[in-house]
Amino acid sequence: MSQTIKLKKGFDINLAGKAENKTIEITQPDTFALKPTDFSGLSRPKLVVKEGDNVKAGSPIFFERNVEDILYTSPVSGEIVEIKRGEKRKVLEVKILADKQVEFEKFKSFSASDISGISKEEALDQLKKSGGWVNIIQRPYGCVANPEDTPKAIFISAFDSSPLAPDYAYVLQGQEQYFQAGIDILKKFTSGTIHLNVDGKAEVSQLFSNAKNVQLNKVSGPHPAGNVGVQIHHIDPISKGDIVWTVNPANVAMIGKLFIEGIHDTSRLVALTGSQMKERGYVKMYSGACLNKLDVEGSDNRFISGNVLTGEGVGSEGYLGHYHNQITVIPEGKYEEFLGWILPSTKKLSFHKAFGMLTFLNGKDKEFEVDTNAHGEERNFVVSGAFEEVMPMDILPTYLFKAILAEDYDDMEALGIYEVIEEDVALCEFIDISKNPIQEILREGIELIKEG
């Protein structure tokens, strides 16, 4: 039974710098990096390569200690040039100097019609050794799925409502076959439903409406309607003991390609966005690509892998994260503003309407130019009722955050920590007048309860 869900709560952040629906050619960067920090739950990576080794795309780089069969593999072929470590020799980046022509490790390939005949074990084996498995994320905790679990359902959000988000119908054009194969592979791992959730406000791309073996649900509303966690909450919520898996649509296609072509190909169309990006559109990029070939305006910019709410500021020499399908470049905001806390303005972006904050006069179509200024200092929680307005779930955010701060395990569980990950509370962090690092607080809570 396909469901239609209409959400009212939330907030659409309309920024300047959207990607046009066009594919741009850029020079391929020389270096790529595989970063353990991209994968939540990967705490003790053990390297299988050393500096100077040559790898192909799909060759193992590291694995989590004690989970030796799930491999994290190279996105490109080339030479390992540097292994960057941080405190306690923790691996931060494995840098690869890429070959001009990417060579792929060969895995088994199947014709589209043979996909259904692959056994679960065979599929699992290929996913684990090729690096494709890490595309599957489990809830609760938002970490790489455990192959021993059987999820009660798998969720794919086919649209992203985040600021300047890529359009997956564009990203996946021409990849219908891979997308369907990916779904068919995932289907082997659950006896439940695969939910494919599309934007109820927009016309549904044929790519999604023609997909088989899925339940097509329509979800509409302001951001975070596109967040898979919000969709799960309304379609088939996670209770204690439940496990569901989520996969990003681009990664579904990546999984499909692994079986159809027999290669671990992380290249996909990545949206180049943000007010400082010179040419905005889509560009074909492998995971971990260095951002130093991007053309930008101005010099003091924040290079964000991902979107402005949940992404990571990686710097102009940073790398595209494994799960990110978007790069946003906005100006840094390190400046003092004379009486900035009280002067009226229509140009500033705010969810609130406190004195002089005249954002709401602009109407819906106004695109805001934003920078990284925090617009205030950190404070205790003072306001009540605001988080609830951007949280379209039956969850009391402030109480959940306070339970985490108090390290109260029972309350965290009872207040719904299993149902959320960072992206689901990102809007709370954005609108928070007291400027608390809410996503970080939530992650700490998730880690606490995971270790339990």
Judged by CB under 8 A, the residue of 123, 196, 289, 395 near other proteins is 395
Q: Is 414 in the site for other proteins (CB under 8 A)?
A: yes
Judged by CB under 8 A, the residue of 117, 241, 363, 452 near other proteins is 241
Q: 71 near 128, Cβ under 8 Å? A: yes
Q: 130 near 73, Cβ under 8 Å? A: yes
Nearest to 351 by CA among 342, 343, 360: 360
Q: Is 420 in the site for other proteins (CB under 8 A)?
A: no
Gap between the Cα atoms of 369 and 301, Å rounded: 13
Q: Minimum distance from CB of 142 to other proteins (Å)?
A: 14
Q: Is 342 in the site for other proteins (CB under 8 A)?
A: yes
**Residue closer to other proteins, measured from CB, 278 or 353:** 353
E strand residue ranges, 263-316? 268-273, 281-285, 301-305, 312-313
Chain positions 251 to 310 lying near other proteins, rule: CB under 8 A, are 302, 304, 308-310
Q: Minimum distance from CB of 332 to other proteins (Å)?
A: 6
Chain positions 358 to 387 lying near other proteins, rule: CB under 8 A, are 359, 370-385
Q: Is 1 in the site for other proteins (CB under 8 A)?
A: no
> b vs e for 418-439, b when ≥16 Cβ sit within 10 Å of the residue's Cβ?
bbbbbbbbbbbbbbbbeebebb
Nearest to 232 by CA among 28, 392, 117: 392
Judged by CB under 8 A, the residue of 147, 261, 333, 444 near other proteins is 333
Size of the site for other proteins (CB under 8 A): 78
Judged by CB under 8 A, the residue of 311, 321, 392, 445 near other proteins is 311
175-183, 211-219, 276-284, 345-353 -> range binding other proteins (CB under 8 A): 345-353
**Residue closer to other proteins, measured from CB, 34 or 417:** 417
| DSSP bridge partners of 80 | 96
Q: Is 350 in the site for other proteins (CB under 8 A)?
A: yes
Residues in the chain: 452
**Crossing angle between the packed helical segments 120-130 and 249-260, to the nearest 10 degrees:** 110
The tokens for 436 are 């608390």
Q: Is 134 in the site for other proteins (CB under 8 A)?
A: no
Q: Is 336 in the site for other proteins (CB under 8 A)?
A: yes
